[in-house]
A and B are shown apart, each in its own frame.
Chain A
Amino acid sequence: EPEVTQTPSHQVTQMGQEVILRCVPISNHLYFYWYRQILGQKVEFLVSFYNNEISEKSEIFDDQFSVERPDGSNFTLKIRSTKLEDSAMYFCAFKSKEKLFFGSGTQLSVL
């Protein structure tokens, strides 16, 4: 099964600081996604990224969020100025043969 590595596994930051979450799939793929899950709530779609462009984004994905694939392998989610309510588990995923494979997540804690 394809693997997805997410770093860091846990990130603690102060409110207002910028954070960058990283995702590295083992093999090259075109479709990438970011999701988040606030503790006790459902998994929420943030953004889909196809061929180095955002193809779809949710209402959650406002101007504070951005995604990049800077070097063709790493896939990053940046939150420019974190808020308390950004505390959540963030999952990246990629699509392969109509299946989605998820990373183990980054737990973001905003203090």
Chain B
Amino acid sequence: DQQVKQNSPSLSVQEGRISILNCDYTNSMFDYFLWYKKYPAEGPTFLISISSIKDKNEDGRFTVFLNKSAKHLSLHIVPSQPGDSAVYFCAAYDNAGKSTFGDGTTLTVKP
């Protein structure tokens, strides 16, 4: 049972445009969500988080939206830059500290 799903394995956008990465979850016990970026042979890098009491969190070019009723979250990057090209993971945490990652979405931003 895959509790966190990123249904798009890849996404390609033009530089300057908006990138929208999506994530769905099934476990209603998740109360904290994070997005990570990962380059090959490196550890994941924290991008932005959101708790279940909020529906939006913004940090610079990155905005995360949470729709609890739909059990869906999304990451918006605007404007997208070539340096944003990486694999993006969403992760969901329950209050015991256990986390579940999605499979990842490979974002390619073309100059």
A interface, CB within 8 angstroms of B: 4, 31, 33, 35, 42-45, 48, 50, 55-56, 58, 91, 93, 98-105
Using a Cβ–Cβ cut-off of 8 Å, how many residues does chain B contribute to the interface with A? Answer: 23
Distance in angstroms from B48 CB to nearest chain A CB is 9
State whether A99 touches B101 (Cβ < 8 A): no
State the main secondary structure of chain B at its contact with A. strand
The 10 closest A-B pairs by CB, nearest first: A102-B43, A48-B97, A56-B98, A43-B101, A42-B103, A56-B96, A45-B99, A104-B43, A99-B46, A102-B44
Q: Which of B41, B44, B100 contacts A45 (CB 8 A)?
A: B100
Q: List CB contacts (< 8 Å) of B46-64 with chain A.
A: 46, 49, 51
Q: How far is the CA of A99 from the CA of B45 in the complex (A)?
A: 10
Beyond A56-B96, A98-B32, A100-B34, whether A42 also contacts B46 by CB under 8 A is no
